[in-house]
Amino acid sequence: MEGKYNFKTIGETDFYTHNTVESATHLLIINTNDSSNIPTLLGVELAQAEKELSKVGYITSKHVLTKPHRLLAEQNPMWPLFQYKETLIAMINSPPVISNSGNAQRNEWLFNYPPARDIVMRFKSLERIGVLTTFALNRLFVEPMPLPSECVVVRGDDLGKEDCVETLQALWSWLSPQIAHLIGVDAAIYIMPPEKTDSYLSDKISVEPALFKEMTDLLRKDGYKIPRGAANRAQKLYSEFTTEALERVKELVGATQDNQIVDTGAMFQ
């Protein structure tokens, strides 16, 4: 759905969107540079990114340190916004990563907080704002615990409570839902088990099935509109993952960073 976009600035973030976004009721945020590719694979199918009319806008900010255009053949460096019925899917490509050093976390917060906040403020009239992530970073705990084997939903009311699920998450996996909850919007963090690599075969990876269907069922219960067959298509892509498939996924969501097929182990994203 290329063409004329409406322009709006919220805080320090710019939004170029089609009129159709005003009919949306739900927003799902996905960090395509997360420590697992599972959320992006499912997100591509939830957004129906293959379809020309599914892209309904872009998000950008002076804080978004994406690869700039140098050749006109390069992809749009902004973060794409997709829509399926009343559900919006925001793909956060290459969020600012200042340093993997622990003492540089302050800079990462300074550059990521404004767009994470502004996205919520732009869509604060929606019924629900959520993020899709995994438990992949739990492997970085000082005392590693068994990785959860089921999908989990963390509600805004549960954040910070003693009985909340114990998980290590990157900033883009929790900040926007927390802000949404604070201003009275229903918010949730949807967490999937990470991929489990069995063996390497040439350029393919033999993997156990991901819980795409379980997650789409949870999203449906919360009112998200899910395209028919999305879970099965995501599973097929995941099971047959190759370098070529990865490049195609990155092309569809406009990502320019070098994702890894398996967990990166990067904590500060």
List the single range of 17-26, 31-40, 45-54 with lowest mean pLDDT: 31-40
Using pLDDT thresholds of 50, 70 and 90, give the confidence band for residue 143.
Answer: confident
| Each residue's pLDDT tens digit, 98-123 | 555 666 556 778 888 999 999 999 99
Instruction: Provide the pLDDT for residue 189.
Output: 97
Site of tokens 């322009």: 7
- Give yes or no for residue 77 having a pLDDT over 80: no
- Give yes or no for residue 210 having a pLDDT over 90: no
More confident residue, 143 or 84: 84
Instruction: Provide the pLDDT for residue 66.
Output: 62
d(CA 131, CA 30): 6
Using pLDDT thresholds of 50, 70 and 90, give the confidence band for residue 232.
Answer: very high
259: left (phi over 0), alpha (psi -120 to 50) or beta: beta
Please state the rounded mean pLDDT for residues 159-186.
92
Q: What is the pTM of this model?
A: 0.86
* Neighbouring residues of 16: CB distance < 8 A, sequence distance ≥ 6: 5, 6, 7, 57, 58, 59, 60, 78
Q: Dihedrals φ, ψ of 226, to 5°? A: -115, 125
- Identify the CATH number of the domain defined by range 6-253: 3.40.50
Strand segments, DSSP code E, in the chain are 6-10, 13-17, 26-31, 55-61, 79-84, 87-92, 128-134, 152-155, 186-192, 197-201, 204-207
Instruction: Provide the pLDDT for residue 204.
Output: 44
Using pLDDT thresholds of 50, 70 and 90, give the confidence band for residue 91.
Answer: very high
